[in-house]
Amino acid sequence: MSSDPPVHVLRLGHRRERDKRITSHLGLTARAFGADNFVLSGEEDPNVLETLESVSERFGGNFEAHYEKKPMGWLRNFVQNDAGDGSPGVAIHLTMYGLPWNETIPEIPTDRPIAIVVGGAKVPGEVFGICQYNISIGNQPHSEVAALAVFLQTWKPNGTHSSNFTGGMTVVPMESGKQILSSEEISE
């Protein structure tokens, strides 16, 4: 397990039909780039959670995902009371209207759990006030997946090479062809 404070990703406003692929991709990107926990909100969707669970089972690690019916309550509690260890955490909202990420990330405390908040359908205005940081990855509209990847790569530069992925299949990087080692082969 990583000794860094946990990184949570809160996905607001999931729409089951319209967002099924992008929300799965968002969760997979969260996992691959070093987040620990994915919080799905909006319409309930077991398929997204099953996809993430299945990838984590096959490729290893401790990544977890759950559905949250009241995301604003979850976020307020995270920021004001309990980020999982009995003390408040830090929430960062990714939005094209926020401050530049490369100048602002160095100001964020690294000793507390963080929640990265990304929107889908219209983001409730109160999110801007609840989160301690509103951060843009450039001020043009693009994608929550791209915004999350850029943020996490900056926050955890080693996240994609994390030892958190132990216990599952490991892809061996190579110029051409495919090689995957099972967890038994790795521990031999």
Residue type, 141: P
Q: Are 14 and 40 in contact (CB under 8 A)?
A: yes
Q: What is the dihedral of CA 167, 168, 171, 172, to 10 degrees?
A: 30
What lies within 8 Å, CB to CB, of 17 at 6+ separation is: none
Binding mask of the shown chain, residues 39 to 78, with x at each position contacting ligand SAM by CB under 6 A = ----------------------------------------
Nearest Cα to 39, choosing from 61, 16, 72? 72
65 phi and psi angles, rounded to 5 deg: -140, 140
Mark residues 120-139: x for contact with ligand SAM by CB under 6 A, - for none: xxxx------------xxx-
- Choose one: 37-45, 59-67, 71-79, 142-150; the region binding ligand SAM (CB under 6 A): 142-150
Contacts of ligand SAM in 102-121 (CB under 6 A): 118-121
140 binds ligand SAM (CB under 6 A): yes
Residue 83: closest CA among 157, 30, 156, 10: 10
Stretch that binds ligand SAM, among 47-55, 70-78, 94-102, 154-162 (CB under 6 A): 94-102
Applying CB under 6 A, the span of 45-53, 63-71, 102-110, 140-148 interacting with ligand SAM comes to 140-148
Which residues contribute to the site for ligand SAM (CB under 6 A)? 94-96, 118-123, 136-138, 140-144, 147
